[in-house]
A and B are shown apart, each in its own frame.
Chain A
Amino acid sequence: MSTQPQQQSSSSQPIAFVSAQALRARMHDAVNNPHLRQSFRGAMDFLMAKRAAQFPDQDELDSLRALSEGIRQYSLSRLPDLLEQLEANLTRNGVKVHWAETPDEANAIMLDIARRHSAKLIVKGKSMVSEEIEFNHAMEAAGVGALESDMGEYIVQLAGEKPSHIIMPAIHQTKQQIAKLFAEKIPGVDYTDNVDALIRIGRNVLRDKFESADIGLSGVNFAVAETGTLCLVENEGNGRMCTTVPKVHIAITGIEKIVEKLEHVAPLYSILTRSATGQAVSTYFNMISGPRKAGDKDGPEEVHLVLLDNGRSQAYADEQLRKTLQCIRCGACMNHCPVYTRIGGHAYGTTYPGPIGKIISPHMMGLEQTHLLPTASSLCGACGEVCPVKIPIPELLIRLRGEANSAPHAHPAMVGQGAAYDPKISFVWRMWARLYGRPATYRAFSWLATRFRALTPRKQSGWTVARTPLQPAPRRLRDMLKDRR
């Protein structure tokens, strides 16, 4: 692992992420799509209520958040050591550990494993890191099938889409849309919008695939350094199938998903499921500690772990930005985000949407492509308020805005630093600082602005798109005070 920022070549991201201009267009389309607005509003309201019901006691929540934050910060403070310890213990357990700096490297490692086993089909449990590296795309390009087995991911894959939420990938789809999709894409299936029937259809398709797949792929929620254990949180049992039925299991995760001890997992697991889906516990909690041993009745013969950097080292190297890596991927920030609720996950154009996506994507993709994302927030603070590990998301959004605005090469810590630098905008803010930083100048300006308020422009940039114009009052507060005294 390198602690230097990695320059990413444009080819290292298999899909072209969107330009700032295209992002604006997608946001515009999304807010003007009443169906999308209504469905996300309903879904997010549901998830917020479910989470709230899990935390009736504010004091308990406060202390669990503080504990969880402490565990994540402690883990990150020892990250290089813990990664070495994890590798040593996994190796001792018979797990092969691979290190990947870029998505391309990660895909090459896994393709190599697939080729050694002449694999034709990889069946996948839910993994956002596999989305991050465009795993399915890379495998298919090399002639290896990759099939999603999480129901939401399966729907999204069938529809040729990407997840719109990190926990509920198909949350943007209605049951009618899914019914239509299944009838169109799955041979022999008639249209039904009965949810139980739809799930049964999906399950039947996937059941066969678990048995015929050569490799199972999964993500990792917590990697325990002290024991060399990979913990996987899931609800559908497909994660257990992927990690036990095929002969080979490949787990992939980001380098930050590590904790030192098993006892550190329990509070994080508790706050993860309660924050994410409002469940006290998930239906399945898998602890994977190596391949099948002599006498074991099931389990894979070979287990691999791919540890991906992809810009995480850049965040790690800066004390403030490092907090980004505390994330346990619960999705509560997007569930509570008024912007996400209105534009949905796809508009972001990044693997990770919502508030966490705005602060982590710049490290993965560079600020050239992502500098508009941190600005698309009213800084309302709802994300920071619900974050189970207390990532100060608004503070990090402001920091990233500053990195993007500053003159290029002013601060070499980030790829794409200065990407939003605009000499004209910078000049405006310098003038603003002179105006408001000198009380006498401000007094003169505010006197003129109020006395000549009739000259206030009627078109006021984005403000008057949907509002009546602002106009200074006839007299300032300080004038009114003087008149009175």
Chain B
Amino acid sequence: MSTPVVSTHAGHQARSYPSRPEAVYFYGTCLVDMFVPEAGMDAITLLEREGIRVIFPDNQTCCGQPAFTSGFPEEARQVIASQLDLFPGDYPIVVPSGSCGGMIRWHWEKVIGDDAALKARAAAIAARTYEFAEFLLHVVGFNRKDEGPATTVTLHTSCSARREMGTHLVGRELLARLGNVTLANHDHESECCGFGGTFSLKHPDISTAMVTDKVASLKATGASQLVTADCGCMLNITKRAAREDLDAGRSKPSLPGEHLATFLLRRTGGKTCAPTLPSLAAPQGGADASRGGPAKRPAAGDAQ
């Protein structure tokens, strides 16, 4: 297997990739584990279908990013310290999120403190941590036949994927390998969706202004759905769009979205754990349903 070198605009060194490994560690992230598990399952299925054994360390919790970016480095350090033992083998670590991947790759070593041994361990982990889509393209060399009907999708790349992981072209490249999928570019594509973790809670005015513009740009493409490799952005964008749908009395989601892993698996003949789109409706029994909104979201597990 060749080792393609990808240039990054993030100011980091271009990265060279290893040959396809026998196994990988899968670091699911707390958001995927609790909120979008189907994205994690589908990513794992994709890797396994390529003949790669996937190890899911049971003690994984969180990369520490929420505390780190909120200005609580000691709390972040404690959480990171609890995660350093998860990857005893020297397999690559695959993360289905640019921001969690960026946290591990660029910040663990700095946040973990002055202890040289801990720093060395964090650095060794960082060196073999890959964002899922990046891994699928550059290490696995994903190239499966698109079995789905012709469709047009739009793609949002997270700021961390774009600027920390330097993987902004990866999603485009993977979608380009699907023969029946057309990618519709949206205006201000490189602009943030306004999530920013606790930023969306602390500064709702600005965050809302940003996500509202992002939703409008994505919708203006006329694409049938959104694809993204980051669940934070995905929830931000689709939950904003769902709110707009509610307010407008629309029963069908105007901007359904799913993780790139789910989309790729579904298009290439795999069985996803995600509900069939369009399905991004309000939570079961939530405020939205009582306001005559879309029907309840099918349980992710039901699809199996």
Whether A associates with B in a native complex is yes
Chain A residue, CB-CB nearest to B298: A474
**Cα–Cα, bound, A234→B201 (Å):** 42
Of B69, B246, B282, B288, which is in contact with the most chain A CB atoms at under 10 Å from its CB? B69
- A400 to chain B: closest residue by CB: B71
Cross-chain contact of A466 among B72, B74, B208 (Cβ < 8 A): B208
Q: Are A467 and B75 in contact (CB under 8 A)?
A: no
Which of A215-223, A291-299, A335-343 has 4 or more CB atoms under 8 Å from chain B? A335-343
Interface of B is mostly: helix
The reply to whether A382 and B192 form a contact with Cβ atoms under 8 Å apart is: yes
Report which of B70, B71, B201, B286 forms a contact with A469, defined as CB distance below 8 A.
B286
Is the C-beta of B52 less than 8 angstroms from some C-beta in chain A?
no
- The verdict on B79 contacting chain A, using a C-beta distance below 8 Å, is yes
A475 within 8 A of B: yes
* Cβ-defined contact, A379 with B32, below 8 A: no
| With contact pairs A401-B71, A439-B58, A480-B37 given, residues A385 and B9 touching in the complex (Cβ less than 8 Å) | yes
Q: How far is the CA of A31 from the CA of B11 in the complex (A)?
A: 32
Residues of A within 8 A of B162 (CB): 381
Residues of A contacting B97 with CB < 8 Å?
A: none
A470 to B28, CA, bound (A): 18
Contact in complex: A402, B73 (CB < 8 Å):
yes
Residues of A within 8 A of B194 (CB): 338, 378
The listed residue (B32, B202, B208, B283) touching A471 by CB distance below 8 A is B283
Residues from chain B with a CB closer than 8 A to the CB of A424 are none
Distance (whole angstroms) from the CB of B206 to the closest CB of chain A: 6
> Is A353 part of the contact surface with B, judged by Cβ < 8 Å?
no
The answer to whether B301 touches A475 (Cβ under 8 A) is: yes
Q: Given the complex, which residues of B lie within 8 Å of A404, measured CB to CB? A: 71
Q: Which residue of A lies closest to B302 (CB)?
A: A474
Which residues of chain B have C-beta atoms less than 8 A from A378's C-beta? 159, 192, 194-196, 199-200, 207, 210
Contact bitstring A447-470, B, C-beta under 8 A = 1, else 0? 001100110101011110111111
When the two chains form their complex, are residues A342 and B209 in contact, meaning their CB atoms are under 8 A apart? yes
A180 to chain B, nearest CB (A): 28
Q: Which residues from B are CB-within-8-Å of A287?
A: none
Q: Select which of B11, B44, B286 is within 8 A of A458 by beta carbon.
A: B286
Contact assessment for B240 and A462 in the assembled complex, using a CB-CB cutoff below 8 Å:
no
A142 at interface, CB cutoff 8 A: no
In the bound assembly, the distance between CA atoms of A443 and B57 in angstroms comes to 12
Residue interface bits A386-403, CB-to-B below 8 A is 1, else 0:
000010000000101111
B157-186 vs A, Cβ < 8 Å mask (1 yes, 0 no): 001101110000000000000000000000
User: Cβ of A374: which chain B residues have Cβ within 8 Å of it?
Assistant: 71
Q: Considering residues A28, A478, A479, A483, which has the most beta carbons from chain B within 10 angstroms of its beta carbon? A: A478
Contact A477 B37 (CB under 8 A): yes
Q: How far is the CA of A19 from the CA of B286 in the complex (A)?
A: 37
Contact with B35, one of A390, A400, A433, A472 (Cβ below 8 angstroms):
A472
Q: A402-B72, A462-B203 are in contact. Are A467 and B242 (CB under 8 A)?
A: yes
Nearest-neighbour CB distance to chain B for A110, whole angstroms, equals 38
Interface size classification for chain B: 35 or more
Contact A466 B212 (CB under 8 A): yes
Q: How far is the CB of B77 from chain A (nearest CB, A)?
A: 8
Tell yes or no: A108 within 8 A of B by CB: no
Enumerate chain B residues within 8 angstroms of A437, measured Cβ to Cβ: 61, 78-79, 81-82
B189 an interface residue at 8 Å Cβ cutoff?
A: no
Q: Which of B11, B72, B236, B243 contacts A429 (CB 8 A)?
A: B72
Contact B196–A480 (Cβ < 8 Å): no
Closest to B299 in A: A474
CB distance A338 to B192 under 8 Å? yes
Decide: A31 near B206, CB < 8 A? Known: A463-B200, A466-B211: yes
Q: Give the CA-CA distance A484 to B36 in the complex, in Å.
A: 17
Beta-carbon contact of A436 and B62 below 8 Å = yes
Size category of the binding interface on chain A: 35 or more
B37/A342 in contact, CB under 8 A: no
A433 to B64: give the CA distance in the assembly, Å. 8
Residue A235 interfacial (CB < 8 Å): no
Complex Cα distance, B69 from A382, in Å, reads: 16
Q: Is B264 an interface residue (CB 8 A)?
A: no
Whether B200 contacts A454 by the Cβ 8 Å rule is no
For residue B270, CB closer than 8 A to chain A, the reply is no
Provide the residues of chain A in CB contact with B202, threshold 8 Å.
375, 462
CB within 8 Å of A: which of B58-109? 58-62, 64, 66-76, 78-79, 81-82
- A157 interface residue (CB < 8 Å to B): no
Interface bits B289-304 vs A (CB < 8 Å: 1, else 0): 0000100000111001
In this complex, what residue of A is CB-closest to B198? Answer: A375
Among A24, A27, A382, A403, which residue has its beta carbon within 8 angstroms of that of B159? A382
Distance in Å: Cβ of B112 to nearest Cβ of chain A: 13
Q: How far is the CA of A385 from the CA of B293 in the complex (A)?
A: 41
Task: Say yes or no: is A270 at the interface (Cβ < 8 Å to chain B).
Answer: no
Q: Is B30 close to A, CB under 8 A?
A: yes
Do A384 and B58 have beta carbons less than 8 Å apart? no
Q: Are A27 and B205 in contact (CB under 8 A)?
A: yes
A98 interface contact, C-beta 8 A: no
Contact: B71 with A480, CB < 8 Å?
no
Most buried by B among A374, A443, A462: A462
Is residue B41 within 8 Å, beta carbon to beta carbon, of the partner chain?
yes
- Other-chain contact of A481, B34, B44, B163, B210 (Cβ < 8 Å): B44
Asked whether A116 is an interface residue with its Cβ less than 8 Å from the other chain, the reply is no
B205 vs chain A, min Cβ distance (A): 5
B285 within 8 A of A: yes
- Digitize B235-278: 1 where CB-to-A-CB distance is under 8 Å, 0 elsewhere: 11001101100100000000000000000000000000100000
Is A430 close to B, CB under 8 A? Answer: yes
Q: Is A380 in contact with chain B by the CB < 8 A criterion?
A: yes
> In the complex, how many angstroms separate the beta carbon of B243 from the nearest chain A beta carbon?
5
> What distance in Å separates the Cβ of B226 from its nearest Cβ neighbour in chain A?
15
B33 at the interface (CB under 8 A from A): yes
Query: A400-B71, A462-B203 given. 15 additional CB < 8 A pairs?
Result: A376-B199, A379-B197, A385-B9, A401-B70, A405-B72, A430-B75, A437-B78, A439-B61, A461-B201, A461-B204, A463-B239, A468-B246, A468-B293, A477-B28, A479-B301
Give 22 A-B contacts (CB < 8 Å), ordered by A residue.
A27-B206, A31-B206, A342-B210, A342-B213, A378-B195, A378-B200, A378-B210, A398-B69, A429-B67, A433-B78, A437-B61, A439-B60, A458-B287, A467-B242, A468-B246, A468-B288, A469-B282, A469-B287, A472-B34, A473-B36, A477-B41, A478-B58
The 9 closest A-B pairs by CB, nearest first: A401-B71, A378-B196, A462-B204, A380-B192, A471-B283, A433-B75, A439-B59, A477-B37, A467-B239
